[in-house]
A and B are shown apart, each in its own frame.
Chain A
Amino acid sequence: MDFEDTPEEAEYRAKARTWLENNVAAHERERFPDPLTRARAWQARKTEAGYACITWPKEWGGGGGTPIQSVIFGQEEAKFPSVQAGYFTIGLGMCVPTVMGFADDATKQRFVRPAVRGDEIWSQLFSEPAGGSDVAAIRTRAVRDGDDWIVNGQKVWTSGAHYSDYGIVLVRTNTEVPKHKGLTMFWIDLKSPGIDIRPIHQMSGKSDFNEVYFSDVRVPDAQRLGPVDGGWKVALFTLMNERLAVGGATGVGPADILKLARELPGSDGPLLHDRAFRERLADWWVLAEGLRNTRMRAITALSRGQTPGPESSIGKIIAANQLQQIGNAAIEAEGQFGIIDDPDLAPMKGAFHDAVMWAPGLRIAGGTDEILKNIIAERVLGLPGEIRTDKDVAFKDLPAGG
């Protein structure tokens, strides 16, 4: 029971660290003031050195390495905040693997390498107003027209569509059969005529995701991923990768609120002396350590050449709720002042306020708390699935609402 690298792992880590030290410029942010340009430049440098998509075959621009090497590089790279960026997570974590799993060779030749290099960015267009958790309920229609399909409808919550080039889109191709059996997956060019991308104004005030409208968008049948009406299987393949892609939360943690509590006045001396606060801090610490140590167990499985167990599924539920609670505890601890989110006045440049305003999204994105608990109950514990009233009903006869 230890945290030690094997000799091979240690060697890989040392090499990765040296490479990072030599390649992250001291003035990375000044050199590329625009974050997307900076992210692309960094991704290209990693690709050349074999540090992008480390587990993918070299012929596709990957590193030809092992999962544990990917983890090790990620740990080392995390020590360089100036090159942290999330632009490629959805594309390389979910969309491109789906393309690799279901597209023909020519398509893979054309798209995989530019995506790895960060030259082209991919989005996931699954959720619709009609269904996010129940994604099989989507309504965007594709109707066959010769060698093409004509797509009409609306996607929603599409992260990054506004800076993406391509996407994988799940559409309905058959309404005469039950909902899971009439879906088909395509890859699409987001610049195609008839596609309208409109940023959504989030509750946080930012716009990370979009509505994507389709009006008579022509999609060649050659862009189909998997069989006609066989898109649900393809979607499950994508979503299987989602849990790996979404996992870790960023933002404030127990160490940040500990620091705040040393300085902040409480009812009797600094907040850190307050008994009630200390009890809560202990619980946050226990959960944060629980997550960190659970990751260590998963990494151990990878290091031993095994598949990590289901325990990793606890990650997002804990992380998202913890983020919300710590953010809120910090602003409540500031008393009346806590309402101020001006980065010049608020502690940690408003990071606790950011947490309060981002955590609700994190509790929903990539599977809501409730859906994740269903998944643990059904797939880990083997309890029965939910009762489905829509399983054997043709899609066109389903009641709509919401």
Chain B
Amino acid sequence: MNFDYSDEQKFLKEEARKFLAAKCGADRVRAVLEGDHAYDAELWREVAAQGWLGAAIPEAHGGLGLGHVELCAIAEELGRACAPIPFASTVYFVAEALMRFGSEAQQAKWLPKIAAGEVIGAFATSEGPGPVGAVKTRVTGGKLTGTKIPVTDGDVADLIVALADDGLYLVERGEGVVAEALSTLDPTRSAAKLTFTDAPAERLGDEGGHTAMQAVFDRAAVLLAFEQLGGADRCLEMAKDYALQRHAFGRVIAGYQAIKHKLADIYVKNEVARSNAYYGAWALNSGAAELPLAAAIARVAASEAFWFAAKENIQTHGGVGFTWEYDCHLFYRRSRQLALVAGAPAEWRERLVGQLETRNAA
């Protein structure tokens, strides 16, 4: 039985934590929150120099060729640091889509650039409120036309994987693509409305639209779950540290049972999320047939854990938790961004049950 990180993976994770502690303090997150930049370009370069963007990309395509569990370890640390960079869009969505569906030529063209940090990616599926249903985006004669809103990192992406009615397409920034930045709950991650008008598009894989999108979502969901887990762990730590030094009625608030039980509840949810995220990592890394179910389980648990930890962290802080100056809201915001970016928890619950139905019927 080997259901945990290996020693090497733990080492990688520790190094990642140290690196981010030095390079991605709350001041860096706030600089993006409060400034005009869509992301922290310096951190992006540094992360690229570490090789993290290509952790799961094969060496033949310029990556480190480590594997998905290593990428999960990195994701967990990025989540804990609330890193303000387009890592998820580029790596969990676009690189994964390329590795899953790309032709050899497409992989050879794009993966090395992604691994080197030269290309930012975005995954464009949604066209309006509600789950992604029938999409209006169409491709005729190699030209893609339609509107996608919101597209995380769409304003800075060089390479967009867009969902059209018949499948996924690669579209490069430039001709026929107009991006308008959007105001969102989490300004540390940018988002845009993308309008495509006869944008040159290249087919990615030959799966049908929703099947292809869902296959990418399944992979991304596992990696996102690790970011969510990292964020949830950080929230528990913040709440604990604060509760241990804040006094009320003559003693530290950490001694009040309502606070103790609240933090115990966070701990229980985080451990459920961790165990289920590992299950997702196993399925993703081993190419198991259980991936769709494991991804849904990991994502539902992680979304619930991060939301709960983020909101109860604010509650534990009292009034200061509600201020701009305290960092609680950075995680509260990020918990919303991560829970929605690959489809909301309700969609994943539905997908989970759908998987159970087909599995047991078979």
Contacts and interface: CB of A to CB of B under 8 A. Distances in A.
Interface of A: 1-5, 9, 68, 258, 272, 275, 278-279, 281-283, 285-287, 289-294, 296-297, 299-303, 311, 314, 317-318, 370, 372-374, 376-378, 380-387
Contact of B282 (A3, A68, A282, A303): A3
Contacts of B267: 314, 376, 380-381
B252 A377 contact: no
B257 A386 contact: yes
Nearest to B268: A314
Given A3-B282, A381-B264, A383-B263, A296 B275 contact: yes
Interface in B234-291: 236, 240, 243-244, 251-252, 254-255, 257, 259-261, 263-265, 267-268, 271-276, 278-279, 281-282, 285-286
A289 B276 CA distance: 7
B349 interface: yes
Given A258-B360, A293-B275, A297-B278, 4 more contacts: A1-B3, A1-B4, A283-B349, A373-B260
Return the 10 tightest CB-CB contacts between A and B, nearest first: A290-B272, A282-B349, A293-B275, A377-B260, A373-B264, A376-B264, A296-B3, A384-B255, A294-B275, A303-B1
Given A286-B297, A286-B301, A300 B2 contact: yes
B3 A383 contact: no
Interface in B69-114: 69
A300 B6 CA distance: 11
Nearest to A377: B260
A318 B268 contact: yes
Contact of B356 (A4, A285, A293, A314): A285
B contact patch SS: helix
B272 A286 contact: yes
B271 A290 contact: yes
Contacts of B360: 258
Nearest to B5: A1
B279 A293 contact: yes
A97 B62 CA distance: 57
A281 B275 contact: no
A contact patch SS: helix
Contact of A377 (B1, B261, B272, B273): B261
B353 interface: yes
Contact of A297 (B6, B255, B273, B275): B275
A381 B263 contact: yes
A303 B1 CA distance: 6
A381 B271 CA distance: 13
B300 interface: yes
A294 B260 contact: no
Contacts of B264: 372-374, 376-377, 380-381
B175 interface: no
Given A258-B356, A282-B353, A378 B260 contact: yes
A13 B360 CA distance: 27
Interface string B1-14: 11111100000000
A289 B261 contact: no
B254 to A, nearest CB: 4
B275 A290 contact: yes
A294 B279 contact: no
Contacts of B2: 1-4, 300, 303
B346 interface: yes
B268 A1 contact: no
A376 B2 CA distance: 25
B230 to A, nearest CB: 16
Nearest to B361: A262
A278 B271 contact: no
Contacts of B252: 384
A370 to B, nearest CB: 7
Contacts of A377: 260-261, 263-264
Contacts of B348: 282
B357 interface: yes
B240 A383 contact: yes
Contacts of B236: 381
Contacts of A275: 350
B279 A297 contact: no
Most chain B CB within 10 A, of A1, A287, A292, A383, is at A1
A283 B279 CA distance: 16
16 contacts: A68-B1, A275-B350, A283-B349, A286-B301, A290-B271, A294-B275, A299-B1, A314-B268, A373-B260, A374-B260, A377-B260, A381-B240, A383-B244, A383-B260, A384-B252, A384-B254
A374 B271 CA distance: 17
Nearest to A289: B297
B26 interface: no
B349 A278 contact: yes
A294 B272 contact: yes
Contacts of B243: 383
B275 A1 contact: no
B352 interface: yes
Contacts of B297: 285-286, 289
A373 B267 CA distance: 10
Given A373-B264, A377-B263, A311 B274 contact: yes
A374 to B, nearest CB: 6
Contacts of A3: 1-3, 282
Contacts of A387: 251, 255
Nearest to B354: A278
A9 B273 CA distance: 28
A282 B300 contact: yes
A148 to B, nearest CB: 43
A290 B350 contact: no
B83 to A, nearest CB: 23
A26 to B, nearest CB: 28
Contacts of A376: 264, 267-268
Contacts of B353: 272, 278, 281-282, 285
Most chain A CB within 10 A, of B243, B274, B348, B352, is at B352
B279 A289 contact: yes
A297 B268 CA distance: 15
Most chain B CB within 10 A, of A5, A296, A374, is at A296
B4 A5 contact: no
